[in-house]
Amino acid sequence: MKNFVDELKWRGMIHDVTPSTSEFLQKNKTSGYIGFDPTADSLHIGNLVQIMTLVHFQKSGHKPVILIGGATGMIGDPSGKSKERKFLDEKIIIDNQNKIQVQFEKFLNFKGDNSASILNNKTWFENFNLLSFLRSVGKHISVNYMMAKDSVKNRLETGISFTEFSYQLIQGYDFYWLWKNKNVKIQFGGSDQWGNILTGNELIRRIDGGESFALTTPLITKSDGGKFGKTEDGNVWLDEKKTSPYKFYQFWINVSDEDAKKFIKIFTLKEKEEIETLTKSHEKEPHLRILQNALAEEITERVHDKQKLEIAKSTSQILFGKSKKDDFDNLKEDVMNSLSTAVPCVKIKKEEINSDFKNLLTEITNFEIFSSKSELIRLIKNNGLSINKEKILNDDYQLSKNLKFDKYLLLQKGKKNYTFIIVE
RNA sequence: GGGGGGAUACCAAAGCGGCCAACUGGGGCAGACUGUAAAUCUGUUGACUUAUGUCUUCGCAGGUUCGAAUCCUGCUCCCCCCA
């Protein structure tokens, strides 16, 4: 059995860990949990570090527990937030939870010896009335202790509601409940959760004199200082309806060399030796971007599947590879469909396809593709316009004769600027 | 309150009666190179079915002139100096 803490350590996934955690986990098969907010109907790659923590935990023989914050999600964690959070509608929370659950099944084994499980803290908070809470939980933690937490301290100037203030107690009680009822001995989380987790450890110690542990992962940063997991389009989601497999794949392919070295350890399950070999060959031939490819392939396949990965790869080949007209002509329909998720689409009506080439690309498409005919002409003169991977050299191109699958045209301005025209 | 300077395209900044759709730099777009990178070099950068052509544009509104970004009048806004 692998040493969980050592495993995370070489992968650079530990920010803080309570003393003797490693020893405890080596000697005991136990359970550990992470709380997830059901604030969205999908996980995003910002959650991935946490998920991978649980994956390693399970691989080390322990039982991962996913705690859906059905109750806490209704309150809002002040950590890292500068403003009071909006409450979420209860129905939405339940709906979100169901969708998130499916996503976890791609990472964790929910069957067998050390199966993963999903719990919702609503089950124990629902019928927990205020007075009992104050008597059995509130009694053990002083306000002074709570005020000392950064998450609270940072909000004293701007104001914090009692509801958010009490968040750490609620989360602390989660830990206590799981410790008491589910043999959960450790809680994981991002580094911003350290304070909240320790409140749980403290509660367990004060109420029952029990032993428990905490481990947090570092905030994932990018070498250029930008926020990890964000693109121009916003979050990168695991749900293919929110982020297409192609875009998901592209996110990882575009990671910088420096970040790739870091990310491959965190987001893939490759062994140390393999990663070292890959990193070495990457450094020898950086233009091949071996790490980015390995990273993108493994994660995309896990989150989506082999087939969708292949489509994402073919799509990328068309858009960014050295593909020529022939490659484009031989494309299968599923890659074509994927293209429509990859690039902006403009729809035109069937009868419009026979319109004049220049009118079609300007007026008829509401100047979405080209804002003027001059711009279009200029681009053609600069040798920058391609349709279906074929350079357009003059302006009497017959769009209608070049439709793919009777409805698609791939228009390309320069190298990377694509528009997909769909005839309907 | 008194005196002076300014407003030009995405930004900065020249132009001060015709050769101005407007120098130049940045940015944008495209081409070459490349790793879907960085740097570099080149072209392009108001609109019009592509024109040694037409139209619109140099704070706003008028005027002078064959002709105005450029001169005059008024207005709006900005900056500086003195009080």
CA A368, C1' B18: Å apart? 40
CA A11 vs CA A6, A16, A84, A353: distances in Å: 9, 14, 35, 54
CA A351 vs CA A204, A358, A373, A404: distances in Å: 71, 16, 21, 16
* Interatomic CA distance for residues A206 and A212, integer angstroms: 12
CA A267, C1' B29: Å apart? 37
Query: Are residues A321 and A261 part of one domain?
Result: yes
Instruction: Name the residues contacting strand B (CB < 7 Å).
Output: A 250, 253-254, 256-257, 286-287, 289, 292, 316, 320, 356, 358-359, 362, 371-379, 381-384, 395, 413-417
Query: Are residues A303 and A358 part of one domain?
Result: no
Query: Are residues A265 and A162 part of one domain?
Result: no
One-letter amino acid for residue A338 of the chain:
S
CA A385, C1' B41: Å apart? 22
CB atoms within 10 A of CB A104: 20
Query: Are residues A189 and A129 part of one domain?
Result: yes
Residue A223 lies in a domain: no
Query: Are residues A318 and A181 part of one domain?
Result: no
Query: Are residues A162 and A103 part of one domain?
Result: yes
Domain end point (choices A317, A338, A359): A338
Residue A411 lies in a domain: yes
CA A384, C1' B31: Å apart? 8
Query: Are residues A239 and A189 part of one domain?
Result: no
CA A377, C1' B12: Å apart? 29
Q: Which nucleotide is nearest to A257 (CA to C1')?
A: B37
* Interatomic CA distance for residues A96 and A117, integer angstroms: 17
* Interatomic CA distance for residues A356 and A358, integer angstroms: 6
Residue A272 lies in a domain: yes
Residue A277 lies in a domain: yes
Residue A419 and residue A371 in contact, taking contact as beta carbons nearer than 8 Å:
no
* Interatomic CA distance for residues A215 and A13, integer angstroms: 10
* Interatomic CA distance for residues A260 and A329, integer angstroms: 34
Query: Are residues A416 and A305 part of one domain?
Result: no
Domain end point (choices A170, A190, A217): A217
Q: What is the CATH number of the domain that holds A384?
A: 3.10.290.10
Residue A412 and residue A379 in contact, taking contact as beta carbons nearer than 8 Å:
no
The helix/strand/coil state of A327 is helix
* pLDDT averaged per 10 residues, chain A (length 424): 90 94 93 91 93 96 92 70 64 86 94 91 88 90 88 85 88 94 95 93 93 94 79 85 93 91 95 94 91 95 95 91 84 90 89 86 88 89 89 81 89 89 90
Residue A149 lies in a domain: yes
Is the alpha carbon torsion for A53, A58, A63, A66 positive or negative?
positive
Residue A186 lies in a domain: yes
Q: Return the closest-CA partner of residue A176 out of A201, A149, A209, A145.
A: A201
Query: Are residues A347 and A322 part of one domain?
Result: no
Residue A288 and residue A258 in contact, taking contact as beta carbons nearer than 8 Å:
no
One-letter amino acid for residue A351 of the chain:
E
How many structural domains is chain A composed of?
3
Tell me which residue range forms the domain holding A371: 343-423
Domain end point (choices A295, A317, A338): A338
Q: What is the CATH number of the domain that holds A334?
A: 1.10.240.10
Residue A225 lies in a domain: no
Q: Return the closest-CA partner of residue A244 out of A334, A154, A349.
A: A334
Query: Are residues A19 and A165 part of one domain?
Result: yes
The reported pLDDT for the residue numbered A127 is 85
Residue A222 lies in a domain: no
The helix/strand/coil state of A188 is strand
Closest residue to B43 (CA to C1') is A382
Strand B bases within 7 angstroms of protein beta carbons: 29-32, 34-37, 43-51
Query: Are residues A266 and A187 part of one domain?
Result: no
Query: Are residues A256 and A130 part of one domain?
Result: no
Whether ipTM tops 0.90, in short, is no
Q: What is the CATH number of the domain that holds A51?
A: 3.40.50.620
